Chains A and B, each alone.
Chain A
Amino acid sequence: MNWRAVKAIVRKDLTVVARSRGVLLPLILVPAIILVVLPALVVLAPTATGLPTTSLDDMERFMAAMPPGLQAKLAGLDDAQRWTVLALVYFLAPLYLIIPLMVSSVIAADSFAGEKERKTLEALLYTPTTDGELFLGKLLSAWLPAVGVALGGFVLYGLVANLTAWPVMGRLLFPNGMWLVLVIWVTPAVAGLGLGTMVLISGRVRGFQEAYQLGGAVVLPLVLLVVGQAAGVLYFSTGLVLLLGLLLWGVDAALLWWGKRTFRRGELIARL
């Protein structure tokens, strides 16, 4: 493996992304909304406006609909504390996963489909780098920043969550064991999911925008997780998160195996 070539591809792709406002903007805005604006709104808005989030009866009904495991975790807390823990620890967890998914999708769309659109792929294919080295370079250029942004986001979210929850909880709330598993085990797999999907899509589209729009569908399973939690069908227990990670790693392996099979010079250049 020619690591110098792999590193050069990663460096080039990241420089190009950093200089594209259209690509960079969602990479800054979406994490800022999910990790700062949303938690602050969810916890601070009721206090700031003086309005209760729900009536006592509503809260009781809502809690009764939650899975027993979650009810046990929230036992002994008052309503405001229950709402804070529910929102910051559980409901926002699947939303957090949108960040690695989105970052890897955007960068992979720019790296794979965007390269084709900008007509910069042909010169790369004439270099001595092997198909494997090119593929690995392109994967890492999307996967590394996705994981990096998610880890940085986790630290930021920890600060925001603890700061906003402190007046209600009177103690540090974040992170718990489930979140650590989510960040270490599931986040890299989610980044791989966005990446693998985009690799498959990019071969069949003409440019970045088309790839990004088509690839947006991959966020649907995460939306289902958000809805599932809110409806009380499931909750982000450590066991569920471990299982989710395992499932995602399996899907990643299949997607990347298939992507590697289709990432061949002859096929890529014939589509230019």
Chain B
Amino acid sequence: MQPVIQTHNLTRRFGGTVAVDGLTLEVYAGEVFGFLGHNGAGKTTTVRLLNGVLLPSSGSARVLDLDPVKDGPALRRRVGVLPETPSLDERLTARENLLLYADLYGVPADQVPRRIEALLEIFELTDRADDLVGGYSKGMKQRLALARALLHEPELLFLDEPTAGLDPMAARRVRGMIARLSRETGRTVFLCTHNLAEAQRLCDRVAVLEHGRLLAVGTPAELAHRLWRGLCLEVELVPATAPTALDLLRRVSQDGEVEWREPVAIVRLPDREAIPDLVTALVEAGVRLYRVTPQEPTLEDVYFALHGGEEVLT
């Protein structure tokens, strides 16, 4: 698959601080790529470097087969960015904001009205299109900023913390719009976030960044597999049969241990295939069960394991 973004040892220093430290990664066409990290991990600096807005201290990058340092204007014509703050002029109306950026991005003049109306419609802003943006809610501003990022129909979209500071309803709407964008238009999306549930829901692959350094990159399942062997299983028991059950579970457990949080036992098995045999053995031993639930590690588990230093993967 053709990489849309390639970086090699990309580094940016501000005085003595290294904001991005030897970043090497590839992002492929059509994927939603999550870029995860705490505040100050270097996510925004990376977006700026990849757009040729900031120059690297060392290393290189290619975005849409262009060099951000040499081809900044040509690259930015093909890329849309939603910055961390919506960066909208509040003394202009939504329509005026979009008109301004249509001119700045060189949208063909005959297409401008149609595109603006369509985006206002998609982002549910038509009714307030001629109101000053200063009177908008945070969610409306974020939707307008997203519309602005799409105005010139970019091939690649950078979204920097698109739901930060939004209430749950507004955040859900914005997430729905991002999911639709990727699904319906096949656009490549580079999503910077520290919202792990959001990344889990939207991203095909993720990269985890800490202090400017890449800790890991892959699908959430790949990362979990690299961190933990086997599968975690929750078994909810009738308490009277617990001693027999725990004894048996210890024998089949991958690490010989069972965590007991009455009435639930948590045990690690080599893989899913071990579950039917275990259930049969428990039933034959007279153990009574309420439920047996395999636990897939979440992106949150992966993220904290990586930041906790259990294992550093590259």
Residues of A within 8 A of B (CB): 2, 4-5, 7-9, 11-12, 15-16, 19-20, 118-130, 265-266, 269-270
Could you give, for residues 84-116 of chain B, a 1 whenever the CB lies within 8 Å of some chain A CB and a 0 otherwise? 011111111000100111011110000000000
B148 located at the interface, meaning its Cβ lies under 8 Å from any Cβ of chain A in the complex: yes
Q: Which residues of B contact A16 (CB under 8 A)?
A: 89, 91-92
* Cβ B76 vs Cβ A127 within 8 A: yes
B64 located at the interface, meaning its Cβ lies under 8 Å from any Cβ of chain A in the complex: no
Closest chain A CB from B88 CB (angstroms): 7
B163 located at the interface, meaning its Cβ lies under 8 Å from any Cβ of chain A in the complex: no
* Cβ B88 vs Cβ A8 within 8 A: no
* Cβ A127 vs Cβ B91 within 8 A: no
B289 located at the interface, meaning its Cβ lies under 8 Å from any Cβ of chain A in the complex: no
* Cβ B74 vs Cβ A265 within 8 A: no
* Cβ B91 vs Cβ A20 within 8 A: yes
Closest chain B CB from A202 CB (angstroms): 17
Q: How far is the CA of A20 from the CA of B132 in the complex (A)?
A: 12
Give the interface size bracket for B toward A: 20 to 34
* Cβ B83 vs Cβ A126 within 8 A: yes
Q: How far is the CA of A111 from the CA of B92 in the complex (A)?
A: 14
Closest 7 CB pairs of A and B: A8-B103, A123-B87, A127-B104, A128-B77, A126-B81, A128-B73, A128-B76
B87 and chain A: residue at smallest CB distance: A123
A130 and chain B: residue at smallest CB distance: B73
Known A-B contacts A12-B89, A19-B91; the reply to A127 vs B101 at CB < 8 A is: yes
* Cβ A122 vs Cβ B76 within 8 A: no
> What would 6 A/B residue contacts be, using CB atoms closer than 8 Å?
A8-B99, A123-B81, A124-B87, A124-B104, A126-B79, A128-B76
* Cβ B53 vs Cβ A119 within 8 A: no
Tell me which of B86, B99, B105 contacts A127 (CB under 8 A).
B105
B51 located at the interface, meaning its Cβ lies under 8 Å from any Cβ of chain A in the complex: yes
Q: How far is the CA of A54 from the CA of B76 in the complex (A)?
A: 68
* Cβ B87 vs Cβ A119 within 8 A: yes
Known A-B contacts A127-B101, A128-B77, A130-B73; the reply to A120 vs B87 at CB < 8 A is: yes
Tell me which of A5, A122, A128 contacts B74 (CB under 8 A).
A128
Among B48, B79, B92, find the residue whose CB has the most chain A CB atoms closer than 10 A.
Answer: B48
* Cβ A128 vs Cβ B81 within 8 A: no
Known A-B contacts A4-B106, A8-B103, A265-B54; the reply to A15 vs B81 at CB < 8 A is: no
Q: Which residues of A contact B14 (CB under 8 A)?
A: 270
Closest chain B CB from A114 CB (angstroms): 10
Closest chain B CB from A16 CB (angstroms): 5
Residues of B within 8 A of A (CB): 14, 48, 51-55, 72-74, 76-77, 79, 81, 83, 85-92, 96, 99-101, 103-106, 132, 145, 148
* Cβ B87 vs Cβ A2 within 8 A: no
Q: Which residues of B contact A19 (CB under 8 A)?
A: 91, 132
Q: Which residues of B contact A123 (CB under 8 A)?
A: 81, 83, 86-88, 101, 145, 148
Q: How far is the CA of A21 from the CA of B134 in the complex (A)?
A: 15
Known A-B contacts A265-B54, A269-B53; the reply to A129 vs B89 at CB < 8 A is: no
B48 and chain A: residue at smallest CB distance: A269
Q: How far is the CA of A178 from the CA of B14 in the complex (A)?
A: 53
Q: Which residues of B contact A266 (CB under 8 A)?
A: 53-55
Q: How far is the CA of A269 from the CA of B84 in the complex (A)?
A: 13
Q: Which residues of B contact A124 (CB under 8 A)?
A: 87, 104
* Cβ A5 vs Cβ B103 within 8 A: yes
Given A123-B88, A126-B81, 14 other A-B residues pairs in contact with their CB atoms under 8 A? A4-B103, A4-B106, A7-B103, A8-B100, A11-B100, A15-B92, A19-B91, A126-B53, A127-B104, A128-B73, A128-B77, A129-B104, A266-B53, A270-B54
Q: Which residues of A contact B85 (CB under 8 A)?
A: 119, 122
* Cβ A269 vs Cβ B54 within 8 A: yes
Q: Which residues of A contact B104 (CB under 8 A)?
A: 5, 8-9, 124, 127-129
Closest chain B CB from A118 CB (angstroms): 7
Q: Which residues of A contact B76 (CB under 8 A)?
A: 126-128
Q: How far is the CA of A258 from the CA of B89 in the complex (A)?
A: 28
Tell me which of A15, A20, A125, A130 contacts B96 (CB under 8 A).
A15
Q: Which residues of A contact B90 (CB under 8 A)?
A: 118
Q: How far is the CA of A126 from the CA of B74 in the complex (A)?
A: 11
Known A-B contacts A19-B91, A119-B85; the reply to A125 vs B53 at CB < 8 A is: yes
Among B90, B101, B103, B148, find the residue whose CB has the most chain A CB atoms closer than 10 A.
Answer: B103
Among A8, A128, A129, find the residue whose CB has the most chain B CB atoms closer than 10 A.
Answer: A128
Q: Which residues of B contact A125 (CB under 8 A)?
A: 53
* Cβ B81 vs Cβ A129 within 8 A: no
Q: How far is the CA of A129 from the CA of B76 in the complex (A)?
A: 9
Q: Which residues of A contact B148 (CB under 8 A)?
A: 123
Among A15, A122, A129, A130, find the residue whose CB has the most chain B CB atoms closer than 10 A.
Answer: A122
Closest chain A CB from B57 CB (angstroms): 11
* Cβ B89 vs Cβ A120 within 8 A: yes
Q: Which residues of A contact B106 (CB under 8 A)?
A: 2, 4-5, 128
Q: How far is the CA of A7 from the CA of B96 in the complex (A)?
A: 14
Q: Which residues of B contact A265 (CB under 8 A)?
A: 52-54, 72
Q: Which residues of A contact B73 (CB under 8 A)?
A: 128-130
Q: Which residues of A contact B91 (CB under 8 A)?
A: 15-16, 19-20
Q: Which residues of A contact B96 (CB under 8 A)?
A: 12, 15
Q: Which residues of A contact B100 (CB under 8 A)?
A: 8, 11-12
Closest chain B CB from A119 CB (angstroms): 5
